[in-house]
């Protein structure tokens, strides 16, 4: 379950509401493109501004469309342990294959606080838990030693590692046997070279087949994997020209993958300067999509 190209899906909006038609079209695309799993309501899915009802509906649509084709692993984390437990229990009851749980943000818990948070969540459900370490969002890093302690809890099965450090991935792999997933598209191949199993990808929102091919090729044809990485790297950079998911939603709307690039406040659409910077990359992306 915790390998390959897993997509951190955007949440399409229309006039402030969930755009279910666009979402269903995206999910069909991923089923057809070799995507290994779906992560709705993560950072890319603007989870922090979704209501609980929207989270529930988002998960329900994903489960309906994807069926048994791939696991659905919703984001269920918050900066409150009590709320995280409740959201994770709701997801488990709805049929989620696992849950992605971000390190509590704003509070900046100590390593012991992180451990107790995740322990409490894991003990409250019977589905696998994926740790999510993203210091740029949360303000605190989860150390490899903490990950190793948590890996001893039976249903803590994987970590999405987005600290931006290949060395940190190396330490995690050396300390325990938890499944490691890259949380940074540009670092997917370097992380796989030291033991990561795949990626939870933003890039796969726009070029899912190419990301899936790159990750799959790593084992059988690493030269080909490297070629795909280098061909995708300009797009990887372009998708983070501003705060995620602004650029990726803009790219998807331009390519006709979603009806609108609408974001939920306090996020706003990307600037005209960013659009100009992305223009040549988007032209190449649309050529690739048109050739499929």
Catalytic site residue 160?
yes
Catalytic residue among 105, 115, 118, 132: 132
Give which of 192, 240, 194, 238 is closest to 214, Cα–Cα.
Answer: 192
What six digits make up the tokens of 41? 């309501």
The pairing of beta strand 17-18 with beta strand 13-14: antiparallel
Catalytic residue among 118, 160, 249, 250: 160
Map residue 260 onto helix, strand or coil: coil
Catalytic site residue 115?
no
Residue pair 161/171 in contact (Cβ under 8 Å)? The answer is no
According to DSSP, the residues that pair with 4 across neighbouring strands are 198
In angstroms, what is the C-alpha Rg of the chain?
18
Q: Rounded to an integer, what distance in angstroms lies between the CA atom of residue 185 and that of residue 205?
A: 12
Residue pair 120/148 in contact (Cβ under 8 Å)? The answer is no
Alpha carbons within 13 angstroms on the beta-carbon side of residue 213 total 14
**Residue given tokens 């005209």 in the structure block:** 272
Q: How far is CA 33 from CA 69, 97, 167, 179, 181, in A?
A: 11, 20, 31, 23, 19
At residue 202's C-alpha, the angle toward residues 130 and 167, to 5°, is 60
Question: Before 266, cis peptide (omega within 30)?
Answer: yes
Q: Rounded to an integer, what distance in angstroms lies between the CA atom of residue 244 and that of residue 235?
A: 13
Which residues are annotated as catalytic?
A: 132, 160
């Amino acid at each position: 379950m915790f390998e390959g190209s897993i997509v951190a899906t955007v949440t399409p909006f229309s006039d402030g509401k969930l755009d279910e038609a666009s979402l269903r079209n995206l999910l069909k695309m991923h089923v057809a493109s070799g995507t290994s799993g779906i992560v709705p309501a993560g950072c890319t899915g603007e989870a922090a501004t979704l209501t609980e009802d929207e989270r529930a509906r988002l998960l329900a649509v994903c489960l309906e469309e994807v069926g048994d084709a791939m696991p659905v692993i919703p984001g269920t984390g918050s900066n409150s342990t009590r709320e995280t437990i409740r959201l994770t229990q709701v997801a488990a009851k709805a049929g989620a294959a696992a849950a992605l749980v971000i390190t509590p943000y704003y509070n900046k818990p100590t390593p012991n606080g992180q451990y107790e948070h995740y322990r409490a969540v894991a003990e409250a459900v019977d589905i696998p838990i994926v740790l999510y370490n993203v210091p740029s969002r949360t303000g605190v890093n989860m150390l490899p030693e903490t990950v190793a302690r948590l890996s001893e809890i039976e249903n803590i099965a994987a970590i999405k590692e987005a600290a931006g450090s290949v060395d940190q991935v190396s330490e995690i792999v050396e300390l325990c046997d938890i499944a490691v997933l890259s949380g940074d598209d540009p670092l997917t191949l370097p992380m796989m070279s030291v033991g990561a199993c795949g990626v939870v990808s933003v890039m796969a929102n726009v070029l899912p087949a190419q990301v899936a091919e790159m990750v799959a090729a790593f084992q059988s044809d690493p030269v080909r994997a490297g070629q795909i990485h280098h061909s995708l790297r300009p797009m990887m950079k372009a998708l983070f020209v501003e705060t995620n998911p602004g650029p990726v939603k803009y790219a998807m709307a331009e390519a006709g993958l979603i009806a609108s690039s609408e974001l939920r406040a306090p996020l706003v659409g990307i600037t005209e300067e960013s659009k100009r910077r992305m223009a040549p990359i988007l032209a190449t992306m649309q050529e690739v999509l048109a050739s499929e």
